[in-house]
């Protein structure tokens, strides 16, 4: 999620060196609604009665975050465009000196919302996992709605993006997705990793060969679309950057510089890690959550620590059932693991 975040503040870097975390979240994911017209196969959310964040409490919460240093808010759902007071929320967010990202199917993306969206400061990203309805429906519903939204945004000459989940079963379609993005004047393509579904399983994980193929396509791409790798997709980022320089912000952001809040103002490390806790404030949660402490504890006696890429890889805990259940577990099935002993 932190792909658009440019951390150049030396105080942030010093805080990470000292405490392995920022003093307060730079990034906050807001689950503003669980209302959604779809039942996508890859969805990780539980089915619950329709609900929205209370608008007045949401405004107060955002102001508290902003006053404490949060600069990036992410609108999650459900379908964020179906939030019961979405127009008022956008007007309010436009009054703050922040960045805001939103991931949407395009359902409910009306002309009024487009007019309110600040495309200079905020990023609007449509979710699409395939260039055709057949491939897209392996994981997502609403293909025609997303394509219609792409056409509309292209005709209006808006700078927007596509969110594409990298999987084994849609990898051969990636070049076609790039072509489709070119056709509809997409500004950026955000590549994210597959996460555990609501049943706790991965549907179609990438193989080692898949990683190599995908990294080569990205390296050789010379079109107009900016390709951005999700921060917690560190395994792909490592293959692309091939840098041994330590980066404090590489990998999963949860508990380091970001977290998630649900519709009832319970806190969790991120939207994909459903370990919810009640605290009196976000500051209280950030400083006292045992879950966040566990996320930032490095296991120096297990698999990952002896990998060539360990210094710059902090994999998402929602990639693997064992890691999800126990944060001290390593990514044993990692496709790109290379033991330090194998490096000449």
Report d(CA 141, CA 53) in Å as an integer. Answer: 24
Q: Which of 48-62, 178-192, 284-298 has the lowest mean pLDDT?
A: 284-298
> The whole model's pTM is what?
0.93
Residue 183 has pLDDT above 60, yes or no: yes
Least confident of 52-56, 141-145, 244-248, 290-294: 244-248
Q: Map the chain to HEC letters.
A: CHHHCCCCCHHHHHHHHHHCCCCCCCEEEEECECCCCCCCCCCCCCCCCCCECCHHHHHHHHHHHHHHCCCEEEEECCCHHHCCCHHHHHHHHCCCCCEEEEEECCCCCCHHHHHHCCCCCEEEEEECCCCCHHHHCCCCCCHHHHHHHHHHHHHCCCCCEEEEEECCCCHHHHHHHHHHHHHCCCCEEEEEECCCCCCCCCCCCCCHHHHHHHHHHHHHCCCCCEEEECCCCHHHHHHHHCCCCCCCCCCCCECCCEEEECCCCCEECECCECCCECCCCHHHHHHHCHHHHHHCCCCCCCCHHHECCHHHCCCCHHHCHHHHHCCCCCCCCCCCCCEHHHCC
pLDDT score of 139 more than 70: yes
User: At residue 200, what are phi and psi to the nearest 5 degrees?
Assistant: 80, 25
Does the pLDDT at position 302 exceed 80?
no
- Is pLDDT larger for residue 146 or for residue 231? 146
Q: What is the pLDDT of residues 29-44, one digit of tens each?
A: 999 999 999 999 999 9
User: What pLDDT does 344 receive?
Assistant: 45
pLDDT over threshold 80, residue 143: yes
pLDDT at 49 over 90: no
**pLDDT above 90 for 14:** no
User: Mean pLDDT, to the nearest integer, of 169-176?
Assistant: 98
Say if CB 322 and CB 329 are below 8 A apart. yes
Q: If pLDDT is split at 50, 70 and 90, which confidence band does 173 have?
A: very high
Residue of higher predicted confidence among 110 and 199:
110
- Band of pLDDT at residue 92, cut at 50, 70 and 90: very high
Residue 242 pLDDT grade (very low, low, confident, very high; cuts 50, 70, 90)? low
pLDDT over threshold 80, residue 285: yes
pLDDT-wise least confident of 104-118, 154-168, 277-291, 321-335: 321-335
Structure confidence at residue 45 (pLDDT): 87
Q: Which of 48-57, 208-217, 324-333 has the lowest mean pLDDT?
A: 324-333
For residue 153, is pLDDT > 90? yes
**What is the share, in percent, of the chain residues with pLDDT greater than 90?**
72
Reported as a pLDDT band with limits 50, 70 and 90, residue 167 is very high
Q: What pLDDT, on a 0 to 100 scale, did the predictor assign at position 78?
A: 94
| 7-16, 82-91, 116-125, 310-319: least confident range | 7-16
Q: Which pLDDT score is estimated for 299?
A: 59
């Amino acid at each position: 999620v932190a792909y658009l975040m440019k951390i150049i503040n030396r105080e942030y870097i010093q805080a990470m060196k000292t405490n392995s975390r920022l003093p307060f979240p730079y990034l906050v994911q807001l689950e503003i609604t669980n209302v959604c017209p779809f039942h996508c196969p890859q969805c990780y959310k539980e089915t619950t009665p329709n609900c929205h964040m209370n608008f007045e409490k949401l405004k107060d919460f955002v102001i508290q975050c902003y006053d404490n240093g949060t600069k990036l808010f992410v609108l999650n759902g459900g379908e964020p465009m179906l939030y019961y007071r979405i127009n008022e929320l956008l007007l309010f967010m436009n009054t703050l000196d922040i960045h805001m990202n939103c991931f949407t199917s395009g359902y409910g993306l009306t002309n009024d919302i487009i007019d309110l969206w600040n495309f200079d400061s905020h990023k609007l990203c449509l979710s699409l996992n395939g260039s055709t309805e057949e491939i897209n429906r392996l994981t997502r519903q609403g293909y025609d709605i997303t394509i219609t939204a792409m056409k509309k945004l292209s005709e209006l000459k808006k700078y927007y993006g596509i969110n594409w989940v990298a999987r084994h079963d849609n990898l051969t379609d990636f070049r076609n997705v790039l072509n489709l993005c070119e056709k509809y004047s997409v500004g950026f393509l955000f590549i994210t990793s597959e996460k555990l579904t609501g049943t706790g399983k991965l549907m179609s994980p990438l193989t080692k060969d898949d990683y190599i193929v995908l990294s080569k396509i990205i390296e050789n791409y010379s079109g107009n679309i900016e390709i951005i790798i999700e921060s917690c997709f560190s395994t792909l980022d490592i293959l692309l950057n091939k840098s041994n320089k330590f980066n404090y912000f590489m990998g999963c952001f949860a508990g380091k510089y970001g977290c998630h809040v649900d519709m009832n103002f319970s806190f969790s490390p991120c939207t994909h890690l459903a370990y919810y806790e009640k605290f009196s404030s976000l500051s209280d949660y950030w400083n006292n959550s045992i879950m966040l402490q566990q996320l930032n504890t490095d296991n120096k006696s297990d698999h990952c620590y002896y990998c060539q890429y360990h210094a710059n890889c902090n994999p998402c805990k929602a990639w693997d059932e064992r890691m999800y259940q126990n944060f001290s577990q390593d990514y044993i099935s990692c496709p790109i693991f290379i033991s330090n002993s194998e490096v000449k």
